[in-house]
Amino acid sequence: MQTGLDINGGEELTERQMDVLNAVLRLLVEEGDRLTMTAVARRASCSKETLYKWFGDRDGLLTATVQWQASKVRVAPVDRARLDMASLTASLERFASDWLHVISSDTSIALNRVAIAHAGEEKRNLGAIVLENGRLAMGRRLKPVLLAGREAGLLAFGDDEQAFRTFFGLVARDVQIRLLLGDRVKPTDAEIGRDAAEATRQFLALYGAQTGAATAGL
Amino acid sequence: MQTGLDINGGEELTERQMDVLNAVLRLLVEEGDRLTMTAVARRASCSKETLYKWFGDRDGLLTATVQWQASKVRVAPVDRARLDMASLTASLERFASDWLHVISSDTSIALNRVAIAHAGEEKRNLGAIVLENGRLAMGRRLKPVLLAGREAGLLAFGDDEQAFRTFFGLVARDVQIRLLLGDRVKPTDAEIGRDAAEATRQFLALYGAQTGAATAGL
DNA sequence: ACCGAACCGTAACGTACGGTACGGTTCCTG
DNA sequence: CAGGAACCGTACCGTACGTTACGGTTCGGT
């Protein structure tokens, strides 16, 4: 009753346990939330008893999977020294491209779907986890870059949260919601690269120190 | 076996049937996809036998509900004659405001949640219906305005689809995905008005004929 | 007044699946 | 080699819920 429930921050997972979570992830992509504990056990070649010992219950298994996958998205921060327009543009494009790749991936779609499906319930953990490690983590990652850009006189904005949300909108547009709803619009790498560059260009047009000060909400 | 399955285009629903669908809608908001046929029958004060006779099965009931709700979103088109910058701005702000109100509403959130939850399955109807009557309908509605704006020399863009998607991103930003994931960010009317105006201003900065031609992807 | 259609309320059926129990196997330790 | 921990595979249990069946009631038409 007391084991297997320590699914909080950065818990330690054995190799075997990660194999199990990988199986869950694949099943999630294939069948969505309809996966059964029996199917997981069969796919992972383990017993249901083990699943329950390790993860508590079905919800715990899903939570562990989402959390584990989310923990993989860590990316290196940017060095705030020596920032010019070229490196700022490159950073933004990199962010945009990474983000578009993530939200277009099958695993991200599957994970967001199950998190959204469970978001209306009392156990609202999945949605919060995905939000925390998706949208919010991206904000925490990008805001230092924006602030450094402002400090270097390259950007002009009043609130970094507002500036970030605009960038988010320019990058994501309608891609995520369409994919979540089952639309077949999965962009190619080339399209992602083009869209990332375009979004960055537009963002700089709005928030660049020279061009866009009038529209930056000052 | 053959009755109750004519749930396609604009089928005719009796008053009583709409009462039932309203009950489904309320239950969907309250408990999400976990609603049971028994609960629907109780809430609507009808028998389960009637539900099955009218709507075929659970999926048919959900589909009818989504379709019925979607059919309510119709809005009057804009007259393309006599378009100046003021009326264009007003139109765009109106669109933005309407859209933000829709995606922030409890019913929209509930409907999108159930549609997304079912989007990974073979019966992908719900996602397609929501997409068709949400994002895509908004595009069909707004594009004539954009084209009229270009014709009047107020806007500059190459592809109306691209321009619309940018507008979509500037308006929606991260609001919808956050709400779907259970974040408590429901904006007030005042915030929606401010955000709609801001998004419109930014869009005109990017695609206005004078200011933004360089960034319009020409 | 009578009939049948439509519908309500509820009981009942079948099944899928979450969760548990248990016997058998592997493997590690002393 | 003995003992035990961990785990696999599977059978089993309980329940929730989709779906069906059925008796009783209302109501419009003749």
Q: Which residues pair with B208 in a beta bridge?
A: B155
Q: What is the mean pLDDT of chain A?
A: 87
Which of B113, B121, B206 has the CB atom closest to A116's CB atom? Answer: B113
- Token output for B206: 């990017």
CA B148 to chain centre: 23
Distance from first CA to last CA of chain A, Å, rounded?
56
pLDDT value at residue B14: 87
pLDDT at B126 over 50: yes
Protein CA A107 to sugar C1' C20 (Å): 31
Task: Please answer whether residues B186 and B104 qualify as being in contact, where contact means their C-beta atoms are separated by less than 8 angstroms.
Answer: yes
Residue B57 CB closer than 7 angstroms to strand D?
yes
Q: Chain B residue with minimal CA distance to A180?
A: B116
Contact, A53 CB vs strand D, < 7 Å: yes
Please give the model's pTM, rounded to 2 decimal places.
Answer: 0.89
In this complex, the residue of A170, A180, A215 whose CB is nearest that of residue B116 is: A180
One-character DSSP codes across A133-173: IIIIHHHHHHHHHHHHHHHTTSB--S-HHHHHHHHHHHHHT
Query: How confident is residue B15, by pLDDT bands cut at 50, 70 and 90?
Result: confident
Find chain B residues with C-beta within 8 A of A177's C-beta: 112, 135, 172, 176-177
Q: What is the pLDDT of residues A91-130, one digit of tens each?
A: 999 999 999 999 999 999 999 999 999 987 777 689 999 9
Calculate the angstrom distance between C1' of C27 and CA of A30: 35
How far does A114 lie from chain B, in Å, by closest CA?
A: 7
Strand D, nucleotides < 7 Å from a protein CB: these are 7-11, 16-23
- The reply to whether the CB atom of residue B48 sits less than 7 A from any atom in nucleic acid chain D is yes
If pLDDT is split at 50, 70 and 90, which confidence band does B10 have?
very low
Whether A2 shows a pLDDT value over 50: the answer reads no
Whether B132 sits with its Cβ under 7 A from any strand D atom: the answer reads no
pLDDT tens, residue by residue, B87-118: 999 999 999 999 999 999 999 999 999 999 99
